[in-house]
Structure 1
């Protein structure tokens, strides 16, 4: 097996450690698909007895941490790359070095600069202060924690993701005063992780009086989540069977729809606008409708010639039109990143606050028409969904 790319990586690693420029190294893609060790994160840490290199082993069902000396680390990594892992991503304060090998031993070491200097983090076993605590009975019943209230290793990424969602929602719901009532509808609640987390946060952290409804199509999940909510004593949380398209929206303050596929996101936004909710929060997914409409115009637009750029452009155009349409109907829209890319590939969150301010619908119509004309789009599904619900367009200023 050719070792040149691996040895090249080790040379860079050794030099980065010597110059105190080493940030972290991630080893992944085990040789064997059934290997229990899935990932290894290596980073410098500051301990009482000096600097060490922390090896954080992520197994299928548990995590382990071992500390090694600075001198021993390069040889340990060399052995791991020769015997266990096919991919390595090494980060120094100024560069990202990536190595991907195949089972035949062929590979290539690529280096690219990073934008801005990456800061080193020498803290060991750092405990982040999270908005959602894992101690509640509902988390154990949901399979997130063990009997001691500790998050199960295989659920760590999911729990971090839930906390990130709640962290962003926390900022969006800041206008609601403490102690007052608040109502939320979570469209497409699934297993209920976020729904439970949001109810917990609104009750204990925000000190509000929430009524939260999780809408889900699958009867078995409805039965399970309602049972858990009852056992955990969460009286203001209920799960209801229904689809995003056909659910009869009660009077509510906030509508949430995360990862509603394709035009289901538009159905959710339309339902929220029709009901006059104060805040709409969506994480769009699978932008198929606009992609199909853009396909016909792709030959005449250079940026749409390449598959990956076409895909990204379709997502950008879809969500930009959604934001503009929401503004047309009296909502102040905002688009932001909501989670690290390593946890989920869909990292755009679209939100809108209902305002009482006059809207220049004529100007917004011009922007929408121009954008659709530029990319060969006849109609955005959200426009159709709002028309079907008979939602009145605010008078233009």
Structure 2
């Protein structure tokens, strides 16, 4: 490992590191992290490296001093991973470790630009403040010069947070034959336009995106904006989630404020389409409020405000469990509050063929029993598909 330590000292202590990924676990363990990503961050004027430990259903972060970071990377390569890629200003370095612990370092041309961290800790966004973006200008988030309006900065942050979620999803789905994407309950469609902008204008992918909503005036407005921007593969349709059947195959389903069981209806559609990716921010979960029961938890359930929060968490937990049973890898992530609801959990699900769901089934049965849940909408809508998976 001496050559690795020398390389890390040169890159990290000279603040040349841009990004790094450690992967290829030595021993698979569902309870342990399967990948670590590393990037520089500026905290109180001092550069540190932020380690993101990617588990199956969560990501944990840790910020380390530069010298500590070197030790952490060496330990991770020694104990957990067989390979690493370090992107630096002058070169990319691929570190490979054989079964006999032979270390090979391949030096290649740089593929990433150096990130310069400002002392005011300005956040780097996918869509930057100060760079004109056509749909944000048209929707009144930016002025003509690309400056984000102060009263719309929360919306700007929300759009970028959503795109961060999308960035993580795209490498995990097939994009070579084009993508069909449905946004159920699209509303004013800030995020729908953002999705189209990123996939088409930035990534140059072949996509068809349909936004669906029950408000005709909203649909008319969004179609007008799409036409003005020449977003030719983006269409908005008036209609209900449950009744939409225009596509035989959908690759990604987005639902960002479907109320109560409308979220479940969207998830059912997505699974039946065998969608490769699902991004859902539920809101207004009412169904479980009158259904959850557990005598031991009565001190919590006897208070309306606590019961409401609890029922929302139980609802989203069960939704994630159902998706796991039906073959999806699921993460519950923190989003940004929507304008009309404080709900800020995003369900991100990626289809995983051949996934073993025995543990998910066992958890589902015990979870329902613990909360006294029966006669659930999502079970009725999935019908035999879920019954067969649980057997």
Q: Compute the TM-score of the two structures, normalised by the length of structure 1.
A: 0.62
Could you tell me which residue of structure 1 aligns to residue 152 of structure 2? 155
Could you tell me which residue of structure 1 aligns to residue 271 of structure 2? 273
CA deviation profile, 1:349-395 (whole Å, cap 9, x unmatched): 1122222215445x5444223222222211332111112xx647666
**Matches of 2:369 and 2:148 in 1, distance apart?**
50
Post-superposition offset of 1:270: 0.4
**Residues 268 and 378 in structure 2, CA contact (< 8 A), matched pair in contact too:** yes
Could you tell me which residue of structure 1 aligns to residue 187 of structure 2? 190
Post-superposition offset of 1:271: 0.6
2:125 is aligned with 1:130? yes
Post-superposition offset of 1:341: 10
**Matches of 2:372 and 2:322 in 1, distance apart?**
18
2:199 is aligned with 1:208? no
CA deviation profile, 1:183-233 (whole Å, cap 9, x unmatched): 211111111100000111112333322211111111111111111111111
**Matches of 1:354 and 1:331 in 2, distance apart?**
4
Decide whether aligned partners of structure 1 residues 279 and 394 sit closer, same or farther in structure 2, where only a CA change above 3 A counts: farther
**Residues 256 and 280 in structure 2, CA contact (< 8 A), matched pair in contact too:** yes
**Residues 267 and 385 in structure 1, CA contact (< 8 A), matched pair in contact too:** yes
**Matches of 2:251 and 2:261 in 1, distance apart?**
22
2:324 is aligned with 1:332? no
**Residues 199 and 212 in structure 1, CA contact (< 8 A), matched pair in contact too:** yes
**Matches of 2:346 and 2:158 in 1, distance apart?**
14
Q: Aligned ranges for residues 153-302 of structure 1 at < 5 Å?
A: 153-176=150-173, 181-248=178-245, 250=247, 251-294=249-292, 297=294, 301-302=298-299
Could you tell me which residue of structure 1 aligns to residue 375 of structure 2? 379
**Residues 326 and 357 in structure 2, CA contact (< 8 A), matched pair in contact too:** no
Aligned residue for 1:174, secondary structure, equals helix
Aligned residue for 1:245, secondary structure, equals coil
Decide whether aligned partners of structure 1 residues 278 and 342 sit closer, same or farther in structure 2, where only a CA change above 3 A counts: closer
Give the one of 366, 378, 385 matched to 1:370: 366
Q: Which runs of 5+ in 2 are unaligned?
A: 1-43, 46-61, 64-116
Q: Which runs of 5+ in 1 are unaligned?
A: 1-44, 47-115
**Residues 333 and 353 in structure 1, CA contact (< 8 A), matched pair in contact too:** yes
**Residues 181 and 253 in structure 2, CA contact (< 8 A), matched pair in contact too:** yes
Q: Compute the TM-score of the two structures, normalised by the length of structure 2.
A: 0.63
Post-superposition offset of 1:245: 2.2
My pick for the range that moved more, 228-237 or 201-210, is 201-210
CA deviation profile, 1:98-132 (whole Å, cap 9, x unmatched): xxxxxxxxxxxxxxxxxx99xxxx96765433212
Give the one of 343, 348, 352 matched to 1:346: 343
**Matches of 1:384 and 1:162 in 2, distance apart?**
34
CA deviation profile, 1:258-296 (whole Å, cap 9, x unmatched): 1211111100000101111111111111121011112x5
Decide whether aligned partners of structure 1 residues 130 and 143 sit closer, same or farther in structure 2, where only a CA change above 3 A counts: same
**Residues 328 and 393 in structure 1, CA contact (< 8 A), matched pair in contact too:** no
**Matches of 1:193 and 1:131 in 2, distance apart?**
15
